Amino acid sequence: MKKVITIIFFMFFGISFSQIYKVNDKSEKGIPYVIIITDTQKALSNEKGYFKLDNSKIKHDSIGLLLLKNGFLDLKVKIHKDEKNKSFVMYPDTITHLREVVITAKKRIKNANKKTYKIDPNKFNKNSKADIVIQTLPNISINNNGLLINNNRKIILFIDGIEASIEELKRLDIKEIDKIEVISNPSVSYGSNFFGAVINIILKNNKSRFYKGEIETFKGVRLNLFGIIPSLSFKTKNLTFKSFYSWSNNNQNINSILKRNQNGENFIQSSQRNVSGWQDFSFAKLKIDLSNNFIIYLRATLSRYNFNSITTGDYIIDNDNNKFEIIGNENLKKGYISSIFKYKLSKNSNITSKYKFFDYTEKNKIDYNIHSLNNYTFSNIQEHSFELVYRNNKSSLFNKQFNYSIGNRLILRDFNFNETPLNFKQYINTVYFDNNISINNNFSIFSSYALDLTDSQENISIYFLPTLSVSYKLNKKSDIYFGYSRKITRPSPENLNSNIIYFNPGFILKGNPKLKAQIRNYLEAQYNYKFSNEQAFNIYSYYENINDGIVQTISISDDNTIIEYSNASDIFSYGLNFGYTGKLFKYIYLNLNSGINYYSYNTTTGSLISSNNGFSINSNMYISTKLKNNVYISFSGNYNSPKYSLIHKTINEPYLSLSAEKTLLKDKMTIKISYNDIFSLSSKINKTSIGNNYFQSEKIINNMSNITFSLVYSFGKKFNTHYNEQIINTNDIKLK
């Protein structure tokens, strides 16, 4: 009886000491997960906007409240402790993205090598994926070549510091994203052979347990396009698992007409290539939280494709008409297995150990009736990578905040090619030191210094690879940035494989086992100006010089024109790009950038074409809006023409796409409609080659235009989470 009386006593006084309040938006709808801070306690609103305060902890008649919620303006109010059924109204913030800030006490310190963007999920549908979000970032675009920055450099993707693929990007929910980092001038710590930029998506630290999944299927009105993508993920106390599988067919009809004149001899060829096949991608990732200080990441991916093709056509040499038929099969398999062990040594330092195994296999079988050939080529590369990194995120140098990391990476590679003596091993050892120092709130410097030692085919090479980034804030609205990097690119298996591949009589490809690595120096500068919280403008310029550039050359052997890889003597380019992000009519979001580049190629290798140069226009646009009935519409386009290489000038038309998605059934179902390559503009490609007594033009038509319908069903639920309680228990909220 005493126990019952005690329980009733505390239940009564526990309820009487607490008051329940509510947070609404301007439409009087409850706002979930608002943080409420007072002098003596803290609270978090539930899914309907309700929260409670313990009045027994209030020492005065009135109390001040601070209400915080991402996407809303901060709200400060005062209430009397006896007020009941009180509600508060919060108004949305207009800021959609912010530049990188690292908060230490009351100081804001920028990283010279990185910009960070906070994403407002309210601008998208609840089931939107990260690939949509990425396209709203300044100067970032997605096209058939993958992720690009400023339309001319590729981007490698990381999620929570772990290398990822664009397929993972398309499966990542926007609600999982905390912020996105863009590193335009990455150091050798991301790879000594990578020229582009880095995007690192940082996920929210979700402690609630869950299981969830999706089943997506899509169908195109052309080319018999069909695909299916199931996915499953779950989280327990210490484990987080994510996986998906993607399969689709891939059919193409490629028509081409080639005309060539060499030393007065004419060659005309027309061909029709019909391709049918499939491609898939498998992914699994596991995170194991062994303790607050020790985390293990395991990741595996496998991508494959298998294409069968029949190429028929005819060619005319000096009025002699010949017909040909080529039956081919192309098979590729590429897989990764990686593990990361991360141990937190202290509050501001950690040590990370990484291992990655990479296997790449490509096979080509060709039955060529003209040469009575049954040609078979095989390329394989296996790579083991080991890396150890120490990071200190908060140190000091000359009384300035100083962050640094020290790392060592060892790569072991085995190359294998059929019927060639080019079966060799390659050892790469890279030691690097990265650091960022903040001179003051306006001025920061990032620098990296790396030594790269390569042992390949009994040749040992040592490269010094520095990286430098400088950022200076001119005033509240503008800043400038300068960057420099030196990188190397080693030849790929395709570059090295000396087996001849007969695509058709006018195109014979051959690798070169004597290729050297190419060395690239890159300078860049950028000026940024912010008109308002939602409008920004930037000017970007660059200069690039590549020594021993790996390019395709043209030569003649036994009356055949052969395209072979070689080290060109010199390549350089420079360009200017203008970017704008902002809003139109308050509802339409714009991400626009456009520029002009100049390219120059020169070689002394004996190629029929020894030089090529010219200007190229590049531009990208992404226009999007979210309608009130949960419909998100986007229109995108990119244009990069002419494109230059040593042997070709390629002209193509813009690539335009339109897409729309809508959520139904309480966000359990998503319907997507997309129209890719509108009006088939980019399906027509024109290539010209001009050299000494040599001229060639080729017109290629590959119509991949399609209207695709997608249906996504989402399932799953959360369990053992305080978010489902009537009033949220705030005992586990920690304010820092």
Nearest Cα to Cα of residue 659 among 689, 628, 626:
626
State the pLDDT at residue 457. Answer: 64
Q: State the pLDDT at residue 146.
A: 81
Per the CB < 8 A criterion, the answer to whether 299 and 287 are in contact is no
Give the per-residue pLDDT at 583: 86
| CA distances to 69, 180, 495, 587 from 204, in Å | 15, 11, 41, 27
Q: What is the DSSP letter of 92?
A: B
- Residue 13 has a pLDDT of 41
CA distance 655 to 677: 5
pLDDT at 373: 56
Residue-wise DSSP of 249-269? E--EEEEEEEEEEETTEEEEE
CATH architecture of 2-93: Sandwich (2.60)
The order of strands in the sheet holding 560-567 is 501-504, 507-510, 560-567, 550-557
| Amino acid in the structure at residue 312 | T
> What's 627-658 look like in SS3?
ECCCEEEEEEEEEEECEECCCCEEEECCEEEE
Distances (CA, A) of 509 to 13, 334, 547, 554, 685: 84, 22, 23, 10, 20
Q: Which amino acid is at 426?
A: Q
Please say whether the beta carbons of 542 and 584 come within 8 A: no
Q: CATH number of the domain at 209-722, out of 3.40.50.2300, 3.90.79.10, 3.65.10.10, 2.40.170.20?
A: 2.40.170.20
pTM of the model as a whole: 0.78
- Dihedral pair phi/psi, residue 654, rounded to 5°: -65, 150
What pLDDT sits at residue 472?
A: 92
The pLDDT value given to residue 298: 94
Q: What is the rounded CA–CA span in Å between residue 291 and residue 238?
A: 8
Instruction: Give Cβ neighbours of residue 567 (< 8 Å, ≥ 6 apart).
Output: 515, 516, 518, 548, 549, 550, 551, 605
Residue 330 and residue 345: Cα distance in Å, rounded? 49
Spans of the chain, pLDDT less than 50 = 1-16, 95-109, 720-736
Q: What is the DSSP letter of 187?
A: -
Compute the mean pLDDT over every residue in the chain, rounded to the nearest whole number: 84
- Cα–Cα dist 251/254, whole Å: 10
Q: For residue 318, which of 271, 268, 270 has the smallest C-alpha distance?
A: 268
Domain ranges of the chain: 2-93, 209-722
Question: At which residue do the structure tokens 């991916």 appear?
Answer: 301
Q: How far apart are CA 549 and CA 517, in angstroms?
A: 8
